[in-house]
Structure 1
């Protein structure tokens, strides 16, 4: 029984030591991360893009934009933490600076003149095909030399 009590006490001391060391390391890592956070300072009223990497079933995440916007900065809480109103629902969330980007509207495609009528071109109108359908190449496939002793489908 004496062995069991000593073991429990040693485990409790080791656990307490580890917990304190981990807490101090976490604070140091956060401070280092925040000092390296880049980007211009945001002021209340600024419009921002909000990084929101949500997944939707049936939509490829590679082709989806993970930025939503424009949101509006409501308040700067700390050096790199902001209170932001989200677009659409209008809910207010607290976000780190690395999840925000200054809002610039997406470029709109140029609109063509309305009086221009576009007529679909037929294959005969294309400049590369004077006779209608393009001709098949006259080049004959010979196959690799190491197969010259074998009969390949399509050979005479």
Structure 2
């Protein structure tokens, strides 16, 4: 090798380089050359090639585009499902020492998924303004209905956080509206303390101009939200109508009743969700029926969505 290279681990250990391979990487219509190092690595480590930095690539995830020097390459990966917005609350009473940072356990309101990746952001009415407590923006994994949230006490005395006290929002674009709650309510995204440090100051504008621009943004945002919600509502109705029974059932017709029952220790896949056959006794209205399993059984009043036509089994012909 003309040049001497060496690989270093995170703790400073040196790994000898045995060789270098010049690999060709083709993206779209462009071809790039990248050095690949050959070495004996026996530990579990994370390897990577700094191709994007060396070749001045720009990865635009919202637009799903990889920009090179010569072209823009469309990335064909599925759109990421938007996370819902829920309030994060403290799961127990916690005391934060003065000028200290702690990681505490929190719970999420109205969450049904057991394990999920979430983004934690401070509330709009951040506790920093009231108690001097700062909630860190965190990407974390919620397990067993709990998650870890990083908080800092900026005061010179201990601070108390009570159980159930809201400390943050899980913030993301709402799937139905296509907007974040902050943009709908305030006409702008929330700014975190780190944004005040890293972002460039925006151009000052007069009060009248600010109010005019804010009104325009809110009107445009609300119009977009209403249109998006109409589209989502029509989409949900279309999906529902595909499986809806518009004809209904006649009196005396045999039907199955959807009535799932779960037995402990038995897989739901192996348990019956439908029972019957039932007989339609009365049609109370377009979607509600009174059914009965047999003349001696108690009648049930059920919605049409829980019913499906019953077909008599065909006799086994030719079987001895």
Question: Structure 2 length normalisation: TM-score?
Answer: 0.25
Tell me which protein shows more helix as a share of its residues: 1
| Greater C-alpha Rg | 1
Question: Structure 1 length normalisation: TM-score?
Answer: 0.43
Tell me which protein shows more strand as a share of its residues: 2
Tell me: higher relative CO, structure 1 or 2? Use CA pairs within 8 A at least 6 residues apart.
1
